[in-house]
Amino acid sequence: MHIHVSVQNQIFRCPRCGNSNFPGIDVTQPFICPVIGCRTAIDPTRLPPVLPDPVIEHPAVKHNQPLGTATDPFIYERDANGEWSISGIHGNPEELTVPAIASGRIITVIAPRAFAGLRQLRRVTLPDTIAIIGEDAFASCTSLEKISFGAGLTVLEKGCMRCCSALQEIVLPEKVQLIGPEAFSLCTKLQCVSMGDSIRMIGEEAFLSCINLTQVSCRRAPDNIAATAFSGCFLNPEAEAALFPAP
């Protein structure tokens, strides 16, 4: 089966942090990624283009079908960079599985506050296409017990899962590079966190007052950890040694 992908515009994504927003930068010339904590040198001539709004010609897709259907509870939006995001949901579900593709559009972002305050939500599964979880996206989902991140996740923005007080374990995919400020603050039942080798920055108060967090596993210490990232936590010696190795 052949799948044809057509687009009107092309953009580029930083190969390290996943950012595709370069305001005021001439992306036809080599430049530096503006994301704090990344600052990667980018040569656009050596990067494949990101296809922000692919229309996939497939027998199962109706070309003129709007995003979302009568049976699809999710709310979709397109940002200034051409990325499609999920910005909300109708109803108050206990479980949700975020789609990778909706009506031929690849979903790459969970928008800010998309699912904030869904107090009955218990389980979430994200697809591999999701690269960014926006600010306060799951904040105050106080019944959320488990979230399965997709392999493509690179950025967890500020407060994205703050006050998820039922979470006990977090397993971050290998590509995650940034844990934003207050990302998991006040997750008071959180006990263990597993990180990959790609973590470059853990922001201010990222795990503030996670009073039961004792285990943090990582094969390589993050490049930058804010002084208050683990305030109010009681990490075991192994976790402290992994995060803050002796010089």
pLDDT of 6: 29
Per-residue pLDDT at 2 exceeds 70: no
pLDDT tens digits along 19-29: 666 666 777 77
pLDDT of residue 21: 65
Q: What is the pLDDT of residues 212-242, one digit of tens each?
A: 999 999 988 999 999 999 999 999 999 999 9
* pTM listed for this prediction: 0.72
For the chain, give the secondary structure using H, E and C.
CCCEEECCCCECCCCCCCCCCCCCCCCCCCEECCCCCCCCEECHHHCCCECCCCEEECCCCCCCCCCCCCCCCEEEEECCCCCEEEEEECCCCCEEECCCEECCEEEEEECCCCCCCCCCCCEEECCCCCCEECCCCCCCCCCCCEEECCCCCCEECCCCCCCCCCCCEEECCCCCCEECCCCCCCCCCCCEEECCCCCCEECCCCCCCCCCCCEEECCCCCCEECCCCCCCCCCCHHHHHHHCCCC
